[in-house]
Structure 1
Amino acid sequence: MLKAAFECRTNLLLNMYKLIIFLVLALPFGALAQTVTTGTVFDYSKKTLTLPGVNIRNLNSKKSTNTNKEGKYTITAAVGDLIEFSAVGYHTDTLYLTNLLNRTIYLPVKSTNLAEVNVEAVRMNSQITDAKDPLAEKYTLLNTGGNLNRKRMTDKVGGLNLNLGYGKYKRQQRKEAELSEREMYLEEIDENFSQNAVVDLTKLQGEDLKNFMIIYRPSVEQVKAERPYRYAYYISRAFVAWQKLTPQQRKLQDLPKLKAN
């Protein structure tokens, strides 16, 4: 009887020790799973091309790492952190973490600007250079006689025809082109700064979502100055600024008025 009770007590203590050891060993892995984010970085144009050596930096904790040869990364992070991705020859992008799920990142290649070209010589067609201007007035050189100090001509020797109607047409064309370009940028902003895009990154809803989209909608000048425009990065930074506003500042009617210039 006593032996059976002793064995039962011994087994109970042994099971408790095993449970404690299991919890101690499992705790670091559970904590790690909740404090890191992982993913893979690809080329934006070539969707299947992974990018090794991409620098990943947590802008909140200042910790950084690099993608491996397969383009994969793991970095310590928490919900609400900003993660920056940068690589030589690619545009830098920033991700606002709304969760710690595995992610796929696409980096666009930087466009190469053509170097300035200096034209040192041009071969002209003699048929063009020798052609006479039908609008030029006739003139005669005076006192040539082989003398290099001949009298300079001050009379009009060429024709200059100002077509005011053509200039007005060109201005109208230029204005129409500017309006068409502006319309193109507005359509791009509507497509990329949409409710779905904002909700995916910020999780805002209702009146907060409406006010956020009105206050932080990017302007045509902003989008035009940076090509390609990084909408996800802009929305993430705008949401960080939004979180710093007071409830009153988030309401449109309570925004401070701009001072007259």
Structure 2
Amino acid sequence: MTKRIILLLLILAPFQLLAQNFLTGNVFDNENRATSIEGAAIKNLTTKAFTLSDKDGHFAITAKIGDLVSFGMPGFQTDTVYLVNLFPKNIYLRVEVNTLAAVDIKGVKISPMLNGLGNPDNKPPVKTLDYSKEKGGLRLNLGYGRWRKDQAKIQELEENDRIQQEITKNFNAETVKEILKFEGPDVKDFLSLYRPTVDQVKAEKPFNYSYYTATAYRAWLKLPADQRKLPPLPKLKGN
């Protein structure tokens, strides 16, 4: 009897190990959860393994706990999952909605070089170019160049502010809990130590916040316990 049990275990062991190295599941449309999605791209971002869902939305991909797996399909938002187990998963992809930002007409500034164009009264422009020989040829409006630099600086500041808002929206306690199943008092220190910079987000478009969060979490776990905390603020000296 004992020999039979051992033989059975030896036969089942390879299948058990094989099952532990695969993630299976189904991909559905989030709006109509009874509709499966065929041809969805499933990619293991950690190992670079890749597969597509079949006509029933079913998929199987090599994976292990700790891997980061993305699910994508043209016309749908990409979903990324940090694997805390290898249980079969149902993935629901949301339809991607593209909205055009409204144009603020009041914020448009017209170049002074364009004054007079389309003027029915043929009035001279407010600022003109002087071609007279007495003036030594073409006289450039140097103030316009400075104005353009100021506008470029303002646009840069506005873009940086927009990116900071984007970072806060995608890298916070809620998203960390959803991706990593990580919560508690240490989350605040993790978020502060590994918050992405504006330059990092600019360098990679679109910025993959899920992948960055999982990678940062692994780096954070490798730190000694005393380095996972923010240093205490210096105490203010009394007057």
Is 1:69 matched with 2:69?
Answer: no
SS in 2 for 1:73: strand
Q: What code does the residue aligned with 2:64 have?
A: A
Q: 1:213 to 1:51 in 2, by over 3 A?
A: farther
Q: What code does the residue aligned with 1:66 have?
A: T
TM-score w.r.t. length of structure 2: 0.59
Larger Rg: 1
| Contact 2:40-2:53 at 8 Å conserved across structures | yes
Q: 1:33 to 1:170 in 2, by over 3 A?
A: same
Aligned-residue RMSD, C-alpha: 4.8
Give the count of matched residue pairs. Answer: 197
Is 1:209 matched with 2:222?
Answer: no
**1:1-150 correspondence runs (5 A):** 36-40=22-26, 50=37, 52=39, 54=41, 56-57=43-44, 59=46, 64=49, 66-70=51-55, 71-83=57-69, 95-101=81-87, 102-104=89-91, 135-138=129-132
**Separation of aligned partners in 1, 2:183 and 2:132:** 78
Q: CA deviation at 1:218?
A: 0.6
**Separation of aligned partners in 2, 1:170 and 1:246:** 49
State the match for 1:158 in structure 2. Answer: 137
State the match for 1:245 in structure 2. Answer: 223
**Separation of aligned partners in 2, 1:198 and 1:186:** 17
Q: 1:246 to 1:108 in 2, by over 3 A?
A: farther
Q: CA deviation at 1:202?
A: 2.0
Q: CA deviation at 1:96?
A: 2.4
Q: CA deviation at 1:169?
A: 3.3
Q: CA deviation at 1:235?
A: 0.6
Q: 1:186 to 1:108 in 2, by over 3 A?
A: farther
Q: CA deviation at 1:181?
A: 0.9
| Contact 2:44-2:70 at 8 Å conserved across structures | yes
**Separation of aligned partners in 2, 1:246 and 1:105:** 38
**Separation of aligned partners in 2, 1:238 and 1:51:** 33
**Separation of aligned partners in 1, 2:177 and 2:54:** 33
Is 1:220 matched with 2:198?
Answer: yes
Percent identity between matched residues is 39
Q: 1:80 to 1:137 in 2, by over 3 A?
A: closer
Structure 2: give runs of 5+ residues left out of the alignment: 97-127, 233-239
**Separation of aligned partners in 2, 1:161 and 1:81:** 60
| Contact 2:26-2:53 at 8 Å conserved across structures | no
Structure 1: give runs of 5+ residues left out of the alignment: 1-12, 14-19, 110-133, 140-154, 255-261
Q: 1:39 to 1:107 in 2, by over 3 A?
A: farther
**Separation of aligned partners in 2, 1:53 and 1:198:** 25
**Separation of aligned partners in 1, 2:224 and 2:95:** 36
Q: Deviations over 1:74-94 (max 9, x none)?
A: 134332234467999xxx986
SS in 2 for 1:239: helix
- The correspondence for 2:213, drawn from 235, 240, 244, is 235
